[in-house]
A and B are shown apart, each in its own frame.
Chain A
Amino acid sequence: MPEHAVVLDVNPVIYAVTAVAVMVAAGLILSATLERISGWLGLETDYGDSS
């Protein structure tokens, strides 16, 4: 076990499901934040839909 290890007292399956949900939620939050920052910085152009 490494130094400063964080150990949780929880069921492994519940932990795994929560961990996946945390990563997806973090991705969604970061995505929305980056879109906003891109807008402020003028990194977005009117791409339209290529489909």
Chain B
Amino acid sequence: MSVYAGALPSGLVVITLIIIGFCVGVIGAFFGVGGAFIATPALNILGFPMAYAIGTDLAHMTGKSVVAALKHKKLGNVDMKAAGLLLIGTLPGVKLGAKAVISLESMGMAEFVLRTIYIALLMVVGSLILRESLSARRGTEWDGTKALLQRKFRLKPIIALKASGIESISIWGVILLGFVTGFLAAFLGVGGGFVRMPGLLYLLGMPTNMAVGTDLLEVLFSGGYGMFLYAREARVDMIAALTMLLGASIGSHLGALATRCVQADSIRLYFALTVLGSGVAVGAKQADLKTLSAGILLFLGTALTGLILYKLARGLRMKDKRCDGSNLRRHGDPAND
């Protein structure tokens, strides 16, 4: 049986793919997301049909997540125990989410319902994080011990997630979070980072950097599974994906490093603005303003990459003062009080 594996790109396309990969790599590793909200429309603009754009993006995301997750692991930003438990919930969540989409499709209302829920979710999640990060900047730092799943959900067995500084949490709470975020990811057809990262922060009570690193490990598995499904249908351009990976791996490396040079509340603030900007872009697409939507996303991608690299360069210039991890405020640390 013949399988389409990709097409040899021209020199200009190669450079564009590397730049797209680089930008998405920086943003993805900095926020702990796959970055599909920027890469997929960018590939689409470059001439990839939508199914190939999604498949190729998922493929590069798989390779990029390896680089970013390893870097975050080295920086001590990955909670392996939490990641394993989340994964147990994520897999059935993804399966149920995909089934829900198929049911909606059979009713002929998938496109409208999914996009409306997506916009609402982006706006609500973005607004909540924006509100919290702004109050943190005014001195009221988010206290992870007040997280919903730590306080209200006490179904036994109770475990400790020492790497994240979480003293006691129900094992079912972590699995449930994985299930819900997995469901939403498959239901909305996105990587899920934009719901999982805030979920880890505000529902589980993880510190910001730990949420970013742990989420990236989840992105590796969800991206890998998604890539498998698209590659099986010959909807992945492997040559383009590998070309993007060249830029993305460098970007991921720098993006992960930058999390050490930026205050945790600033990471959350930038994340909130990114999520809100994406919500506006998806809203513009819903209103059939496709050029405006693509323009917002491309502007968001380049502006964020520039900002993150600027912060990294400034931090590194100050030699170990800003990039020594002192921005990692932990629950119970004196810096938090």
Task: Point out the residues of chain A lying under 8 angstroms from B331, CB to CB.
Answer: none
**Given known A30-B63, A51-B163, contact A9–B2 (CB-CB < 8 A):** yes
**What is the CA–CA distance of A2 and B239 in the complex, to the nearest angstrom?**
13
B232–A13 contact, CB under 8 A? yes
B245–A45 contact, CB under 8 A? no
Binds A, one of B71-79, B126-134, B139-147, B280-288: B71-79
A47–B245 contact, CB under 8 A? no
The smallest C-beta distance from A46 to any residue of chain B, in angstroms, reads 8
- In the complex, the number of residue pairs spanning A and B with C-beta atoms less than 8 Å apart equals 131
**What is the CA–CA distance of A43 and B315 in the complex, to the nearest angstrom?**
11
B227–A19 contact, CB under 8 A? yes
For chain B residues 270-292, which have a beta carbon within 8 Å of chain A? none
B325–A20 contact, CB under 8 A? no
Q: Count how many chain B residues have C-beta atoms less than 8 Å from C-beta atoms of the other chain.
A: 54
Can you list 27 A-B contacts (CB < 8 A)? A4-B8, A6-B5, A6-B6, A6-B7, A6-B239, A8-B2, A8-B3, A15-B5, A15-B231, A16-B232, A17-B228, A20-B62, A20-B224, A20-B227, A23-B63, A24-B62, A24-B63, A27-B66, A30-B245, A31-B66, A34-B249, A45-B324, A47-B75, A47-B325, A50-B210, A51-B162, A51-B163
Residues of B whose CB lies within 8 Å of any CB of A are 1-8, 59-60, 62-67, 70-71, 74-77, 79, 162-164, 209-210, 224, 227-229, 231-234, 236, 238-239, 241-242, 245-246, 249-250, 253, 257, 260, 316, 320, 323-325, 328
